[in-house]
Structure formats: structure tokens, C-alpha cells
């Protein structure tokens, strides 16, 4: 799938339903299906809107090896937020000298791993969001490449839990950055500053997002004036995709212009870190209907996927599109779709029109590529699902389905 033939958003109706039914029959449900060609096309569309920027994929959105390898093949570098992501990026083929590690209250083992890695790969960049982090790096004898994470005081995105730009947990308070930069530059190779305002930014949040970008660019200029040239100013990611069927996708050409206007003149290179934009609509979940229950309040549709499969609706009150793959042309009826977990939070939608599901039907839950499998868990002792990757006509299992033995194998008497 080339950038030229890749639409800006992939809706559930755009997937090959016959293929999805066959994959579910072959591999069982619940099942994650990721389209690697779509992953690459999304990355290339984003990078094409910022031809002068250094675009890195934010691994935390989806760290599957198949996804990381596909992005590396497409020319992406990788930004990591944890020790495990560094290791997984390297195992997928990333050159450690190209990696950027954004440390957030990093555990000791994470800093040990990163500094040991940098000893052999001095191109690695470590981003710190607290003066404590820089002190801990120095205690480990590290004096290499660092960036300072700035808290711009402006948060954006689809939910308050992802509006990191105004959350005190993330980054050094804006007014303290010049003094911290002067100190850090004495102890390390200060190569950049970094910020991330939030996640899931669409049209209504774009102006606020650009205000945050402009504020961070101003800080970049201030630091350069006071401390010296920077290699880059990293504005993070945050650009979203429409989850609801009536939402329109971002026009990335327009977004590129808005971001460039917000940045203004800057000597340092612009860095951007898309995550959700790259993978969200490239993956879906297939789930079987096992129960249909008529009640005075609603029609309850029970499926074999649960909040252990996809926790975002329970965690963020997130909307994910749902489609009846088996019978998309049936008359739509309001239904509530939920899984087998013993909690009222295990619900994917409430009173939403869906082509009338019947027991045995196959449903698809869309836009599951970003923070879908990443947040999958074993609640109720449920084994995590398999994941199948497709790329054109090719298909392969990239994560096998867990068994109950997998769930319990770490336990000891």
C-alpha cells in the first residue's frame, strides 16, 4: 500500500470481511489482526507532511516486533519510554545509536540498562524530566547525550489521563528549564529539549496543541541563547485519528503548515514522535458473539473479547467502532456489547446501533492498534489473544495465543 493509494483513515468497512472471517476460523477469537502495509503507509504519510523533521515512532503505542520491524524497514527511528522498549527495538533491528530513551521516573534497572547501552553506543540519547534523573545519571558515570523534558503547562488530547503537557509528573516546570539547562550542559552533552502536550489530538485540540508547540519552540530559542546550540527540539507526538465514524481525519498537509507556523524560526532540527497516528487504524480485534440477551433496558450482546483484551473503553471511556462482520447488512439495532469479566466496566459499547448480532456472529472492534495489545492483561485468568500480521497476501502469526499454563507458569508453591 503506497502513500498515494492509502486513505487518511481506514474504517472498519474498508477491511476485507471474507478474509477476516477466514482468519477468525483459522486462529480463533479473540484475535488481533494488524496490517503492516497500513502501518508503513501511515508513517510515510506523516513523515511526508514534515519533510524537514526527524520523525521517530513512539514505541509505547505498539511494541510488537512485527510492527517495529515494519517501521524500521520504512525508514523510521524509534523513541522508547522504558527499558523493555529499548530492548525490543534493538531485537527488532534498530541501531542503538539511533534510539532515544525518554525516562519518566525511571527505575534503577532502566537507567542501568540505558547507561550500559550508551557505553557501547554513544549515539543513544537519554531524556530526563527531573533534576533527580540527571543526578542519577551522573552517579552512574554517564556524561553522554541528554535532552531535557519540558512541561509546557498546556495539556491536549482525548482524555485528561493523556494530557501530559499540564501534568506535573511529566517534565521540568517551564520556568525552571533555563537554569536546569545551564547545569545539565556543564555535566552532559545537552543535545535537545523535549515535550509532549497530549495524545489523540484532532481538529478541536489542534490550536491548543500548536500553542504548546510554540511555547516549547520559544524555550528552545531561550536555551540556545543562554547555553549554546541544540541539535534538536522534540515536540513529541499526539496527533490523533478519528475513532468515531462521523469524525474526519486530520489533513496532514494543513497540520504540517500549522506546526511550522507555530515553531517559527529555529536553528535546531524539529523532532516529532507519532505513535497512535501510525498504528491505531492498522489493527482490529475479532470476537465471537456467544450470548444475546433481551432485557427491558437493552439487548446485551456477549462476546469472548473483554477488558483483558482491550481495556481502553474501561480505562479511558474510549469509543471504538464495532461492526458485524458476519452480517453487516442486517438492520441495525441498539445493543450493549460486553465481555465475560465479572465487572460492569467490561463493556465495549452501550445502546449503540449495530447490525443485529446473533449467536455465532463475528464482530470486529476497530482502531485497536494503539495501546490495544500493549494494555492487554490476564484479568480473570484469561490468556492473552493471538495476533496475526498481514502484508498484502502474506499472513503470519506474530504472537501465539497464550494458554492457561502461560498464565500460571510464573507461580510457585
Q: Which of 64, 79, 59, 61 is nearest to 272 (CA)?
A: 79
Q: What is the DSSP string of 288-352?
A: EEEEEEE-SS-EEEEES--TTT--HHHHH-----EEESS-TTSPEEEEEEE-SSSSTT-EEEEEE
Angle, helices 177-187/203-226, rounded to nearest 10 degrees = 50
Please pick, among 80, 210, 341, 342, the residue that the annotation labels catalytic.
Answer: 342
Q: Which of 239, 259, 223, 208 is nearest to 150 (CA)?
A: 223
State the pairing for strand pair 386-391/394-399.
antiparallel
Taking the mean position of all CA atoms in its chain, how far away is CA 266? Answer: 27
State the pairing for strand pair 125-128/145-151.
parallel
Please, is 30 exposed, middle or buried when counting C-beta atoms within 10 Å of its C-beta (0-12, 13-18, 19+)? buried
Which of the 8 DSSP states describes residue 217? H
Q: Which residues contact 160 (CB under 8 A, 6 or more apart)?
A: none
In the three-class reduction of DSSP (H, G, I as helix; E, B as strand; rest coil), residue 176 is classed as helix
Q: Which of 364, 401, 374, 399 is nearest to 385 (CA)?
A: 401
Tally the residues of the chain.
Answer: 413
**Catalytic residue status for 342:** yes
Which of the 8 DSSP states describes residue 383? P
**In contact, 171 and 212? CB cutoff 8 Å:** no
Beta bridge partners of 201: 239
Q: Give the active site residues.
A: 342
Amino acid at each position: 500500500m503506497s502513500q498515494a493509494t492509502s486513505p487518511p483513515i481506514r474504517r472498519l468497512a474498508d477491511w476485507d470481511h471474507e478474509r477476516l472471517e477466514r482468519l477468525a476460523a483459522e486462529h480463533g477469537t479473540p484475535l488481533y489482526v494488524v496490517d503492516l502495509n497500513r502501518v508503513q503507509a501511515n508513517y510515510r504519510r506523516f513523515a511526508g507532511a514534515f519533510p524537514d523533521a526527524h520523525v521517530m515512532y513512539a514505541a509505547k503505542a505498539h511494541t510488537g516486533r512485527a510492527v517495529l520491524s515494519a517501521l524500521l524497514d520504512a525508514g523510521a527511528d524509534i523513541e522508547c519510554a522504558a527499558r523493555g522498549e529499548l530492548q525490543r527495538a534493538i531485537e527488532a533491528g534498530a541501531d542503538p545509536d539511533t534510539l532515544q530513551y525518554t525516562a519518566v521516573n525511571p527505575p534503577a534497572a532502566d537507567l542501568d540498562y540505558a547507561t550500559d547501552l550508551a557505553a557501547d553506543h554513544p549515539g543513544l540519547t537519554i531524556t530526563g524530566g527531573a533534576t533527580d534523573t540527571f543526578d542519577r545519571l551522573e552517579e552512574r558515570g554517564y556524561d553522554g547525550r541528554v535532552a531535557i523534558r519540558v512541561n509546557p503547562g498546556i495539556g491536549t488530547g482525548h482524555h485528561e489521563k493523556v494530557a501530559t503537557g499540564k501534568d506535573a509528573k511529566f517534565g521540568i516546570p517551564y520556568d525552571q528549564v533555563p537554569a536546569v539547562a545551564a547545569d545539565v550542559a556543564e555535566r552532559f552533552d545537552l543535545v535537545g529539549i523535549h515535550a509532549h502536550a497530549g495524545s489523540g489530538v484532532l481538529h478541536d485540540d489542534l490550536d491548543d496543541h500548536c500553542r504548546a508547540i510554540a511555547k516549547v519552540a520559544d524555550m528552545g530559542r531561550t536555551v540556545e541563547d543562554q547555553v549554546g546550540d541544540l541539535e534538536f527540539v522534540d515536540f513529541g507526538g499526539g496527533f490523533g485519528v478519528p475513532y468515531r465514524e462521523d469524525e474526519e481525519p486530520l489533513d496532514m498537509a494543513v497540520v504540517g503548515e500549522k506546526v511550522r507556523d507555530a515553531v517559527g524560526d529555529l536553528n535546531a532540527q524539529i523532532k516529532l514522535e507519532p505513535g497512535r497516528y501510525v498504528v491505531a487504524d492498522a489493527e482490529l480485534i475479532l470476537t465471537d458473539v456467544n450470548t444475546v440477551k433481551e432485557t427491558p433496558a437493552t439487548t446485551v450482546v456477549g462476546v469472548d473479547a473483554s477488558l483483558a483484551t482491550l481495556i481502553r473503553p474501561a480505562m479511558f471511556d474510549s469509543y471504538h467502532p464495532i461492526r458485524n462482520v458476519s452480517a453487516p447488512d442486517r438492520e441495525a439495532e441498539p445493543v450493549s456489547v460486553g465481555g465475560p469479566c465479572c465487572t460492569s466496566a467490561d463493556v465495549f459499547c452501550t445502546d449503540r446501533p449495530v447490525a443485529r448480532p446473533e449467536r455465532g456472529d463475528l464482530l470486529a472492534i476497530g482502531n485497536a492498534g494503539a495501546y490495544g495489545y500493549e494494555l492487554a492483561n490476564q484479568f480473570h485468568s484469561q490468556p492473552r489473544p493471538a495476533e496475526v500480521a498481514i502484508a498484502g497476501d502474506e499472513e503470519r502469526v506474530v504472537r501465539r495465543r497464550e494458554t492457561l499454563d502461560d498464565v500460571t507458569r510464573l507461580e510457585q508453591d
